Amino acid sequence: MNFMTIARWEFKNTIKSRKFLVIFFLQIAALFLFVMVFNSLAENLESNEALSITPSLSGFANVDVDDQGGLFTRHLNSEVLTLKNSSYQQARNRLERGLTVGYYTVPPESVTLIQDGDQVETILYLDYRDPKRSVVREEVNSTTKTLSTALTTSYLESYRPRNITKQPGVTETTSGESVPLQLIRKVMLSVLLFLPLFLFGNLIIDSVVGEKERKTVEMLRALPLTSADIIIGKSLAVVMVMALQVAMWMIIILGAGFQLKNALMVYVIVFLTTIPLVGLTTIIATYSKNYKEAGIGLTFAYIFISGLLILPLLGYIINQSTLANLSPMTMVMRLSSGETIVMGEILLSLTFIVIISLISYGTSITLFQRDKVIFGPRPSIIRLTMELMGLNKDKKTRSHKRRIRN
Amino acid sequence: MKQELDVNKVTSSQIMISMDSLSKSFGNIKALDNLNLDVKKGELLGVIGPNGAGKTTAIRITCCIMKPDQGDVLVDGYSIHKDPLKIKSLIGYLPEEPNLYERFKARDLLKYFSELYGVPGADINQRVEELLELVGMTHRAEDRINTFSKGLRQRISIARALVHDPEIIIFDEPTMGLDPATSQTIRHFINQLKGDKTIILCTHYMDEADQLCDRVALLDQGRIRDMGTPQDLKSKIHGDLILLVRVTNPLESDQEVISGFRSVENLETEDEQYIISLNSREEISQILNVLGSRALAVNTKEPTLEDVFISTLENRRI
């Protein structure tokens, strides 16, 4: 149980470190801001109102309009655009004199056309000398799009049969939310839950590469401990810190009003995911010579791991593939949105976690045992991989082992 | 499980560490070349040698920090290949650089290492306080390592190496880069441990080896070039005493007469000075009588380990 001694002291020192505490709370603050942004984005989309991408500047640009039906004008963002009813000639004069940025014209019979299911053609004239024109164009496009979606929904609703008495044994199921809502409610929530896991790579890097940089690794290897004790002890300390961070993070998410079903199960899966993630980071830390090298390696590894987590999740949304459950992020998305999950699917995900953990910690321990990796001259990654796979064992090691056996 | 390496060596219960045919290379550089070395129980063995001689590598292998390409080391009968953990628990190691965990307080650091070395929980506090007192650091026990000077770090490093009360202590350049007063304090600690423990001391400082060691091994290019008590080694080079006589116009006839004395082992002429190696002081006055009034200045000098070191390296080059 020597690894527990290492884990306990490393954890204690990390938590007591002022530098760590500052980073810890800054990360919490940054993640809290993420929640706020995503929350507001979700609310905006759910309200079916135009989503403005412009800054909230009232009266940012003047626009002349000719919309006798008033349908489009009502939906234009009056906070950003100051609207003025004008005829074509008046608008043209104002455009020439630079008093307005654009002129938006809607056919007078627009409401009738929509009711008849016909196309409505609107025209936007813009003053190309004015840099504000792009904002006006975005606002008008956004309004047209939102209005079009709302009208389509309303049109479909009018054809939906009402007051149907339910027939026994027949249930109505709906599938497929609109993509933006799926992204916000499911994917984003899952991404947010996994985000803290990617913020603590520096801890394991500091713990392992730091030993090399500070040259304390010699002292560490002189201790009556196995390499497994050292690697597992150090990794466990980081996993414990991450468990704490994930718990705090989930409290913030719940506090921010996110709907999170099966919260405990979700926590367990996110926590279990930290184990292989720390293991993979430990491989990089053990192989790296210094912080710089580890930082570069970590960036590439985290891009790869993010893909490994997110792509199956997107695959699941598109075609509900069973294999997508390999990714813990898929499991978290399904659990947090209240989907029923069978034991087989959970086992699949857990098996994936266990396999990656065994491989990553096994590799890290093997690397840590190698003098060349710790003291140099370090072999290249290709050579090392071949050696680990038993494809390129040097003659010296083989003859030495044979002599020991004899 | 204790291993038998060599009947002659193991039957001698005096041997604590036995290095047998150790070889280690780093790329194309051969750090150790078939090194054989025995360290007796309770002895303080000094290892001297130029930079890159293989001292640190030999020590790292003995401490099971590194594996040899060839050969074995038996520590108290345990093989580095089969019982590395047992060997590690027998050794207290002080590396060349006193690199410690900067964020630890001195007392916490010693407690941490006590736990890792398996010191029983009930004894840890007492042991730590004893060691802090031994190295004179009780008043700084609650200060962080990053506030310590190199000398203070070295004191804490020594305490750290002793937390588990090891039978063997290995010091790698313990006084390197320290001021004379701190070096003297460190030597005093080492001297206090002498006799109770088996100690290996790697050093560049010949006077340190001369002052502290029971035996000295001269390591060069991964091999032992010479080994013995400091006195034996010094005698091998120049005898027991060197007589330096500055004269006007050295004559060949003088040299012939002086070389004929029984106590004269060697005679060299350098500029206008005779360097005469003697194995006793008995005939000094007679030698000076030969030179008479032509002797301008007379000096005597005890040979040092530095002379041994330089002479051995020069012989190797020849």
More confident residue, B3 or A87: A87
> Are B287 and B139 within one domain?
no
> Are A134 and A94 within one domain?
yes
Does B113 sit within 8 Å of A223, measured CB to CB? yes
Mutate to test the interface with A, among B112, B150, B163, B170 (most CBs of A within 10 A): B112
What's the domain count of chain A?
2
pLDDT of residue A156: 61
> Are B274 and B187 within one domain?
no
> Are B205 and B246 within one domain?
no
Residue B162 has pLDDT above 60, yes or no: yes
Residue B289 lies in a domain: yes
pLDDT of residue B6: 42
Residue A370 lies in a domain: yes
pLDDT of residue B38: 93
Contact A125, A103 (CB under 8 A): yes
Residue B46 lies in a domain: yes
Residue B9 has pLDDT above 50, yes or no: no
> Are B182 and B160 within one domain?
yes
> Are B149 and B269 within one domain?
no
pLDDT band for position B7 (cuts 50, 70, 90): very low
CATH of the domain at B148: 3.40.50.300
> Are B274 and B139 within one domain?
no
> Are B254 and B225 within one domain?
no
Pull the structure tokens for residue A3: 């690894």
> Are B220 and B120 within one domain?
yes
Residue A406 lies in a domain: no
> Are A146 and A191 within one domain?
no
Nearest residue on chain A to B108, judged by CA atoms?
A9
Residue B153 lies in a domain: yes
> Are A181 and A151 within one domain?
no
Contacts of A157 (CB under 8 A, 6+ apart): none
Nearest to B85 among A6, A218, A224 (CB): A224
| Cβ pairs bridging A and B (under 8 Å) | 64
- The percent of residues above 70 in pLDDT, for chain B, comes to 93
pLDDT of residue B8: 39
> Are A21 and A120 within one domain?
no
**Chain A interface includes B85 (CB < 8 A):** yes
Domain of B102?
7-234
CA distance A60 to A37: 23
Residue B96 has pLDDT above 80, yes or no: yes
Residue A380 lies in a domain: no
pLDDT of residue B4: 39
B260-275 tens-digit pLDDT:
888 888 888 888 888 8
Q: Which among A39, A38, A34 has a CA at the least distance from the CA of A198?
A: A34
> Are A209 and A280 within one domain?
yes
Nearest to B115 among A5, A218, A221 (CB): A5
Q: For residue A362, with 0-12 CB atoms within 10 Å meaning exposed, 13-18 middle and 19 or more buried, which class applies?
A: middle
Residue B24 lies in a domain: yes
Residue A367 lies in a domain: yes
> Are A190 and A271 within one domain?
yes
Per residue, what are the HEC states of A64-104? EEECCCCHHHHHCCCCCEEEEECCHHHHHHHHHCCCCCEEE
Contact B218, B224 (CB under 8 A): yes
- The percent of residues above 90 in pLDDT, for chain B, comes to 43
> Are A253 and A371 within one domain?
yes
Does A219 sit within 8 Å of B99, measured CB to CB? yes
CA distance B158 to B183: 13
> Are A197 and A310 within one domain?
yes
> What CA–CA distances, in Å, run from B25 to B11, B30, B47, B54?
32, 4, 20, 10
Domain of A132?
61-155
Residue B314 lies in a domain: no
> Are B119 and B151 within one domain?
yes
**Chain B interface includes A370 (CB < 8 A):** no
CATH of the domain at B246: 3.30.70.260
Contact B130, B119 (CB under 8 A): no
Using 50 as the pLDDT threshold, list the residues of chain A that sit under it: 50, 52-55, 162-164, 170-177
> What CA–CA distances, in Å, run from B244 to A214, A393, B239, B285?
49, 60, 14, 13
Nearest to A222 among B63, B70, B103 (CB): B63
> Are B218 and B171 within one domain?
yes
> Are A187 and A328 within one domain?
yes
Residue A11 lies in a domain: yes
> Are B89 and B215 within one domain?
yes
CA distance B31 to B220: 9
Mutate to test the interface with A, among B61, B116, B158, B176 (most CBs of A within 10 A): B116
Residue A365 lies in a domain: yes
Q: For residue A301, with 0-12 CB atoms within 10 Å meaning exposed, 13-18 middle and 19 or more buried, which class applies?
A: middle
Place of tokens 């940025």: A101
> Are A123 and A183 within one domain?
no
> Are A278 and A361 within one domain?
yes
Look at residues B234, B256, B281 and tell me which one is the last residue of a structural domain: B234
pLDDT of residue A173: 47
Beta partners for residue B45, in sequence order: B200, B215
Does A225 sit within 8 Å of B86, measured CB to CB? no
What is the rounded average pLDDT of the residues B104-116?
94
CATH of the domain at A124: 3.40.1710.10
What's the domain count of chain B?
2
**Chain A interface includes B64 (CB < 8 A):** yes
> Are B88 and B142 within one domain?
yes
B273-278 β-sheet, strand order: B264-270, B273-278, B241-247, B295-301
B179-207 tens-digit pLDDT:
888 888 889 889 888 888 999 999 888 88
CB contact residues (below 8 A), chain B span 151-190, against chain A: 160
Chain B neighbors of A222, CB-CB under 8 A = 63-65, 88, 91, 93, 95
For A120-126, the CB contacts below 8 A with 24+ separation are A122/A72, A125/A91, A125/A95, A126/A101, A126/A102
Q: Which among A219, A250, A169 has a CA at the least distance from the CA of B116?
A: A219
Residue A390 lies in a domain: no
Residue B318 lies in a domain: no
Q: Is A58 helix (H, G, I), strand (E, B) or coil?
A: coil
